[in-house]
Amino acid sequence: VKKKNPSLNQDVVLPSVEDIQALYGSEPRIVGLEQCEAFRAAVPPERRLMGPAGLFNSATNLLNKLLKLNCVNRARKQKPEYSRFIPTGMALQVPWGKHNPITWRLHHEAQLGGVVAGQQVPQTDVLPIVMIKDPITWMSSLCRHPYSARFRHRHLCPNLVPDEKDKGKRPGDKTINVIVRFATKHYGSDPLPGPTNKTFVDYDTILDFWSIWYKQYLDADFPRLMIRFEDLLFHAEETITEVCECGGGTMNSVFRYVEDSAKGQKGPHAGSAGFLASLITYGNRTLRMNETLTTHADVEYFRKHVDQDLMNIFSYSSL
């Protein structure tokens, strides 16, 4: 299929349905729908909130915009004591911080979203909507936009195992580790951490970072949904409808998409892809299978160390 790209004034070739289905299947993969009833039973309608969580580059901003455009908690809007903050019920992020590990829940208040309009957001009133992305394309995104992750990637990225150009490391020996800076935990009346108080977590590789972070949410003992980034591209309306209804929301009559980059183009988000560019990139089977991890050692490390439960549950094909 060809589509005119106004910014380039030329035709671009969109991925085929066959390629998309070969990569991600023919329908959305949503984990946690069996917990929706428990969440709605535990939280009164007017108090229910939904908020994105996910690693950097997993499209949490896109999820937030799609929910705000299409879903509303009508019971909350009708109660003045709740409608004065987060009136639609669609929070910017989970109040413990969308990029922080799950263990920050009930132990941390994010600077953005932990307290809104001077009121503490009850964390158990929030249904986390966890965005997950194919680890192969996610690693490629992290190379372009590392945010708070620090790892060696000057000459090759993604890179999991050292090669001959990695000074101080023997080729194939050990791994290229990553150090990730998270918010230092602060909750309620606890003393605020100082500006130099940082929390760093070391992972063996960026692949291990992905596996460990998401496996903790997969094993959560409270209601949460986990949805694929790719389903917001290829099955957006169906996916958002399921999420909205799970959290007790009501869909608007006409579904609205987000065409430009949901992150904007300022600061660390500069160069982020919009809807059309994402369709082309993430539907490209050749790019995903053959042109991302380019060394035999990296491919072998991926096959041995990626979390297979996550790969199977979310229908991400291996290499």
Provide the token pair at 227. 């949805």
Taking residues 242-255, report their average pLDDT. 98
211 in Cβ contact with 260 (< 8 Å): no
Q: Which of 105-119, 225-239, 259-273 has the highest mean pLDDT?
A: 225-239
- Is the bond into 158 cis (omega within 30 degrees of 0)? yes
Percent of the chain with pLDDT over 70: 89
- In DSSP terms, 49 is beta-bridged to 126
Q: Average pLDDT, whole number, for the chain? A: 88
Most confident of 36-50, 72-86, 289-303: 36-50
Scanning the structure block, which residue is given the tokens 């096959």?
303
Q: Which of 67, 130, 133, 124 is nearest to 95 (CA)?
A: 124
Residue 268 has pLDDT above 80, yes or no: no
Residues 6 or more apart whose Cβ sits within 8 Å of residue 23:
134, 230, 282, 283, 285, 288, 317
- pLDDT tens for residues 76-94? 999 998 988 899 999 999 9
- b/e per residue 201-224 (b: at least 16 CB within 10 A): eebbbbbbbbbebbeebbeeebbb
At 227, is the secondary structure helix, strand, or coil? strand
Query: What are the Cα distances from residue 97, in Å, to 5, 17, 106, 184?
Result: 36, 36, 11, 11
**Amino acid, res. 201:** V
Q: How many CB atoms lie within 10 A of CB 116?
A: 16
Q: Choose among 48, 65, 72, 55: nearest CA to 124.
A: 48
Residue 3 pLDDT class (50, 70, 90 cuts): very low
Angle between helices 206-218 and 296-305 (to 10 degrees): 20
Does the pLDDT of residue 264 top 50, yes or no?
no
Which amino acid is it at 280?
I
Q: Which SS3 state, helix, strand or coil, does residue 162 take?
A: coil
pLDDT score of 117 = 67
253: left (phi over 0), alpha (psi -120 to 50) or beta: alpha
Among 16-30, 104-118, 180-194, 262-276, the range with the most confident prediction by mean pLDDT is 16-30
pLDDT above 50 for 52? yes
| Structure confidence at residue 263 as a pLDDT band (50, 70, 90) | low
State both tokens at 29: 């993969």
Q: Report yes or no: 103 and 200 within 8 Å, Cβ to Cβ.
A: no
